[in-house]
Structure 1
Amino acid sequence: MASDLSARDIERAKFAFSIYDFEGKDTVDAFDLGSVLRALSLVPTLKTVEKLGGEKKKGQKKFTIEEFLAIYSQAKKDTDVGNFDDFKECLKLYDKSEDGTMIFDELRHILLAMGEKLEMDEVNEIIKDCAVPPDEDGFTRYQVFLDKLKAGPFKEEE
């Protein structure tokens, strides 16, 4: 086991691991590695998950809890990830009038050019689901975009 993890970290990791042990064989498919790490409040990129041993197809490889704990320990050390506040600050740089708006096409450009490479159809889907259509001057409210993006694909029940 990873010696630099606290007892609480190990307990939480074992619980998250058990949730993704769909077959009850004390293993987790490498395809689900990113999901298990995200369940533990980490935000690894797809590239990071792949570097840690994640697979793009199910059934290629399985991890035991000991292997996962070493991966979890490594993922916790990875500081090359952004968070929500970092993304908000980035968008503020494009808010020239400091009124909570930015040029709609700049938002599209940011999604295409920064961070992990997204395909145009992925960007279009994110824009469609999260962004407010531009006003007559071509501006959109980026806070609304961020709020919808952070909420994820599932609508909260009231």
Structure 2
Amino acid sequence: MAAELKQIEIEKIDFAIEMFTDALTGKLDAMNLGDVLRVCGLNPSLEDLEKLGATKKPGEKTLTTEDVQKIYIESRKDIKNQGCYEDFVECLKLYDKDENGKMIAAELSHSLLSLGEKLSDDQVDKLFADCLPEEDDDGMIEYDIFLRKMCEKPLPAAE
């Protein structure tokens, strides 16, 4: 298995697993699979995660390092179909009416709540608390700052 991975990929996977392994049990909960893959530079959709064996609730299933390596190898095959920072910038440019790198914060919230793989209100609140730059007097934010912060953080867990 590890023969199909470069040393840097093995190190990334090990680091990601360590970040999300339960300190008490020493096991990786399958609910954290998406976060592990995102730390490794992949961006699987919720549908992909379901197919790969992720669970929605804690305690339903645990994964070994070998399991995660196999899943990583499978996931990276579809990397061309996954969004990246540049793709997100292009999407948010649609809301940049003045072409100045800013958009209305409420439009960003609406987009996250209603388009594509919709986030919950709680997820948007957590994401905004961590990543949203301060609004200007007109309620505008610099979406580049938001995206840079967002792309370096795992997706907040649904409650």
Q: Within 2, Cα distance between the matches of 1:91 and 1:139?
A: 13
Q: 2:76 is paired with a residue of what secondary structure?
A: helix
Change in CA separation of 1:29 and 1:151 when aligned onto 2, cut-off 3 Å: closer
Q: How many residues align?
A: 149
Summarize deviations over 1:33-81 as a string: whole Å, max 9, x none: 2233233222223432222101223332233444333211111112332
Distance 2:9 2:88 in 1: 30
Helix, strand or coil at the partner of 2:98: coil
Q: Which runs of 5+ in 1 are unaligned?
A: 154-158
The unaligned stretches of length 5 or more in structure 2 are 155-159
CA-atom RMSD in angstroms: 3.2
Give the whole-Å Cα distance in 2 for the aligned partners of 1:132 and 1:18.
Answer: 33
Name the counterpart of 2:85: 84
What's the counterpart of residue 108 of structure 2?
107
Q: 2:47 — aligned with what?
A: 47
- Determine the structure 2 residue equivalent to 1:116: 117
Query: TM-score, normalising length from structure 2?
Result: 0.69
CA distance in structure 2 between the partners assigned to 1:110 and 1:39 by the alignment? 24
Q: Which has the larger radius of gyration?
A: 1
Give me the whole-angstrom Cα distance separating, in 2, the residues matched to 1:151 and 1:31.
19
Percent identical among aligned pairs is 42
Secondary structure of the structure 2 residue equivalent to 1:140: strand
SS in 2 for 1:144: helix
Shift in CA distance, 109/31, structure 1 to aligned 2, threshold 3 Å: closer
